[in-house]
Chain A
Amino acid sequence: DVKVTQSSRYLVKRTGEKVFLECVQDMDHENMFWYRQDPGLGLRLIYFSYDVKMKEKGDIPEGYSVSREKKERFSLILESASTNQTSMYLCASNQGTKLLAQHFGDGTRLSIL
């Protein structure tokens, strides 16, 4: 079974802090994604990566950056956390074709105080 592991289930940080969310997948998938999930808005794509060191902006990249130095690991960085970044963050991965499932981690619930 594919395993996507997010480093923290819950995280509390203060405004202005630099925050790192880590995601690791164990199936050698090419594509990795970061979403945020807010009630009534569904999942919104922040960034995705289709190869090591490759990244593309999603629909809401402002205030975020990403890093993919190794194929199995995709990090989301909040450069200077703000309260409007309080949310559930979900990482996903899949193989090259869009017909295949995205496999999700269990999410990180991030609170910015």
Chain B
Amino acid sequence: TQLLEQSPQFLSIQEGENLTVYCNSSSVFSSLQWYRQEPGEGPVLLVTVVTGGEVKKLKRLTFQFGDARKDSSLHITAAQTGDTGLYLCAGAASGTYKYIFGTGTRLKVLA
């Protein structure tokens, strides 16, 4: 069974600080997505990474896919209160339409 572990599970930081969230697996994924979920809503896609070693930037958010396509990281620079939410990674399992979701990182950014 493919699993995705995220760390940390919870993170509370002050506005302006930097942070990194990790998504790790022993399995290889053909692609990996990051989502953010706000209270009372469904997850919304932030980015998809496909190639090992790929780095994508979305304003203050930087996403990296590991060289072996088994892990990924999300780095936020100068966090803002609007970044508060649950961050989920999701790996595309080979050969099926299935996605494996990570356990989630709940981020709270304090003013």
Contact = CB atoms under 8 A, between A and B. Distances in A.
Interface of A: 4, 31, 33, 35, 40-45, 48, 50, 56, 58-59, 90, 92, 98-107
Contacts of A102: 33, 43, 45, 90, 99
A31 to B, nearest CB: 6
Contacts of B100: 45
A59 B9 contact: no
Contacts of B4: 42
Contacts of A35: 101
Interface of B: 1, 4, 6, 9, 30-31, 33, 40-45, 48, 50, 88, 90, 92, 96-104
A107 B1 CA distance: 26
Q: Name the residue in B50, B92, B101, B104 with the highest tally of chain A Cβ atoms < 10 Å from its Cβ.
A: B101
Nearest to B49: A99
Contact of B31 (A42, A56, A99): A99
Q: What is the predominant secondary structure among interface residues of chain B facing chain A?
A: loop
A42 B92 contact: no
B30 A90 contact: no
Contact of A44 (B48, B92, B96, B101): B101
Q: What is the predominant secondary structure among interface residues of chain A facing chain B?
A: strand
A110 to B, nearest CB: 15
Given A42-B88, A98-B30, A31 B97 contact: yes
B101 A106 contact: no
Nearest to B102: A42
A101 B96 CA distance: 16
Contacts of B44: 104
B73 to A, nearest CB: 17
Contacts of A101: 33, 45, 48
Contacts of B104: 40, 42
Contacts of B48: 99-101
Given A42-B102, A101-B33, A106 B42 contact: yes
